[in-house]
Amino acid sequence: MKKITIGLVASTFFFNSGALWACPQCRPFVKSGIYNQDFAGNLFVMLLPIVILLAVGFGIYFADALTAKLRKGAKAWQTTYNAAR
């Protein structure tokens, strides 16, 4: 446990420094590369896996209720009264 704590603290010090930010000269170029006319498309592509994971999660969570509802609906539709029609 001590090794994990030391590793987390060390990574916080090493990777949370000002050295990771763009220099004052490069910063406008970095911003212009991110916030350009393709920003909406890039944002959509980056958020698409999250949306897919949420859809799969909701599908798994509500799978029992959906299958029960579909089974109940199928049985109610096929009765002896309307089977020959």
**Cβ proximity of 34 and 43 under 8 Å:** no
Tell me, yes or no, whether 63 lies in a domain. Answer: yes
What is the reported pLDDT for 50?
A: 96
pLDDT digit string, tens, across residues 61-77: 988 888 887 777 655 55
Q: 60: domain range?
A: 47-75
* Residue at 65 is within a domain: yes
pLDDT at 48: 96
- At 6-25, the pLDDT tens digits run 887 887 777 765 656 668 88
- 26/48 Cα distance (integer angstroms): 29
The mean pLDDT value for 43-55 works out to: 95
Residue 71 lies in a domain: yes
Does 3 fall in a domain? no
- Please state the domain count of the chain: 1
Is residue 56 one of the residues assigned to a domain?
yes
